[in-house]
């Protein structure tokens, strides 16, 4: 059993106390407190009385959109440089699709390898985001790239040619801010056309690419109008699936402009939309348009979807091959007064050519790891 030692004063203090008692006698009151040596008053730091907020200014919490924008900017820098810089931005189990349906990965390492394979043939890459749409759980980025072919690309030896590439990236975020999924769209057929190896029969032209100095950024407001815009777009898609021409054309402005990755410049007017309707409905039987994701961001309605069907009629260069078709697309629609005034369609022309057999499957392009 441990016993607590009695607390004793140091010798010098005990001596002073004893002398004081003897001097004061039995009545301690005879000595005033001023007669006893007092310890010095403790110094007080006046800063203790200052407002705590003045000592440590509060740091404003960044908004969800600001955090997303920072991550998007970091991804954009990596796209023009070293893909390994993406490592801390992505969850280790992040999913990835390159021109979805062509190359997929189910973890971060696989994603980095897929990106490296996709762009390994191109040096001196210059990348710039053109438009960024920030939604609650995702960021959609339209981008442009300029590069030189300095390595083998889909069976094509280095040409030293400059290429311009337009594309779109969709990033999905987790609650902790890490990216959990990435879909990257670009038109491989348009790249081949610029290298002098356009697939035979393909209606593909090289796009002109000018890099933006800074992107235009749009942030979702989460209001009713954004949801109405999505509803208008979906009604048009439903009408296409039902082969209802009037319903499909209803939301398009008479002077609508439509941009594609495999063409330079837009096609204009509702009549061009009518031609598209006839091409799809005559070229595909058992047709369906399966929506995957949709976002309303300011005046834009954005949707990722898959066109499915059997190639039972003329469909571009394909002529009733009987092959199954699954085309992965993203449409960005700019709305004004309930009408679509501009549409950007992001897809990959090589996907259709490979699935319908227009691209010879014995050719280097068809057997490339970029084509299933």
Per-residue pLDDT of 67-122, as tens digits, reads: 888 999 999 999 988 999 999 999 999 999 987 657 889 999 999 999 999 999 99
Q: Residues 288, 371: contact at Cβ < 8 Å?
A: no
User: What is the model's pLDDT at position 38?
Assistant: 57
Categorize the per-residue pLDDT at 54 as very low, low, confident or very high, splitting at 50, 70 and 90: low
Q: How far apart are CA 107 and CA 110, in angstroms?
A: 5
The verdict on domain 64-367 having CATH code 3.40.50.10190 is no
Q: How far apart are CA 309 and CA 323, in angstroms?
A: 9
Over residues 192-236, the pLDDT tens digits come to 989 988 877 677 777 788 999 999 999 999 999 999 999 999 999
Report whether pLDDT(4) > 80: no
Greatest CA span in the chain, whole angstroms? Answer: 124
Over residues 7-24, the pLDDT tens digits come to 444 444 444 443 343 344
What are the tokens at 159?
Answer: 């040409």
What are the tokens at 263?
Answer: 């063409």
DSSP state of 309: E
Q: What is the DSSP string of 27-75?
A: -GGGS-GGGSPPPPPPP--GGGGS-HHHHSPPPPPPPHHHHHHHHHHHH
In the chain, what are the helix, strand and coil shares in percent, each to the nearest 5?
A: 30, 35, 35
Q: How far apart are CA 194 and CA 245, in angstroms?
A: 35
Q: How far apart are CA 276 and CA 268, in angstroms?
A: 12
Report the mean per-residue pLDDT for the chain: 84
* Backbone phi, psi, residue 44, to 5°: -115, 125
Categorize the per-residue pLDDT at 30 as very low, low, confident or very high, splitting at 50, 70 and 90: very low
Decide: helix, strand or coil at residue 238.
helix
Span 30-41, average pLDDT: 52
Query: Which helix (H) or strand (E) is 140 found in, with range?
Result: strand 138-149
Question: Counting runs of H as helices and runs of E as strands, what totals does the chain give?
Answer: 10, 15
What are the tokens at 190?
Answer: 């348009």
Report whether pLDDT(158) > 80: yes
> Could you tell me the pTM of the whole model?
0.80
User: What is the model's pLDDT at position 12?
Assistant: 43
Query: Which helix (H) or strand (E) is 254 found in, with range?
Result: strand 252-260
Kind of pairing between the strands at 300-311 and 284-297 = antiparallel
What are the tokens at 195?
Answer: 């290298």
DSSP state of 213: S
Residue in the block written with tokens 């390492």: 109
């Amino acid at each position: 059993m441990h016993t607590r030692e009695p607390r004793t004063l140091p010798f010098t203090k005990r001596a002073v106390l004893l002398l004081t008692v003897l001097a004061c006698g039995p009545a301690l009151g005879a000595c005033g407190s001023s007669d006893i040596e007092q310890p010095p008053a403790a110094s007080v730091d006046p800063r203790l009385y200052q407002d705590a907020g003045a000592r440590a200014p509060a740091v404003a919490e960044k908004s969800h959109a600001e955090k997303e924008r920072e991550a998007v900017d970091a991804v954009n820098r990596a796209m023009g440089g070293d893909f390994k810089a993406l490592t801390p931005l992505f969850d280790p189990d992040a999913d990835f699709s390159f021109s979805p349906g062509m190359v997929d990965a189910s973890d971060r390492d696989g994603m980095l390898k897929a990106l490296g394979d996709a762009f390994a043939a191109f040096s001196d890459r210059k990348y710039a985001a053109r438009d960024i749409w920030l939604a609650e759980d995702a960021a959609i980025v339209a981008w442009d790239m300029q590069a030189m072919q300095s390595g083998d690309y889909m069976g094509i030896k280095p040409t030293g040619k400059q290429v311009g590439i337009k594309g779109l990236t969709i990033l999905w975020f987790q609650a902790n801010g890490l990216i959990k999924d990435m879909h990257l769209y670009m038109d491989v057929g348009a790249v081949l056309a610029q290298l002098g190896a356009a697939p035979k029969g393909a209606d593909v032209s090289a796009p002109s690419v000018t890099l933006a100095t800074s992107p235009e950024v749009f942030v979702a407001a989460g209001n009713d109008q954004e949801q109405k815009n999505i509803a208008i777009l979906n009604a048009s898609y439903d009408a296409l699936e039902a082969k209802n021409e009037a319903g499909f054309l209803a939301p398009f402005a008479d002077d609508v402009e439509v941009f594609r990755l495999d063409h330079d410049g837009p096609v204009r007017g509702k009549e061009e939309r009518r031609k598209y309707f006839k091409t799809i409905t005559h070229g595909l039987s058992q047709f369906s348009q399966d929506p995957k994701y949709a976002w309303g961001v300011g005046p834009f309605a954005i949707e990722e979807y898959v066109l499915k069907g059997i190639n039972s009629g003329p469909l571009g260069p394909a002529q009733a091959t009987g092959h199954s078709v699954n085309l992965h697309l993203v449409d960005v629609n700019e709305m004004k007064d309930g009408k679509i005034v501009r549409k950007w369609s992001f897809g990959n022309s090589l996907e259709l050519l490979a699935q319908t057999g227009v691209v010879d499957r014995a050719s280097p392009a068809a057997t490339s790891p970029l084509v299933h």
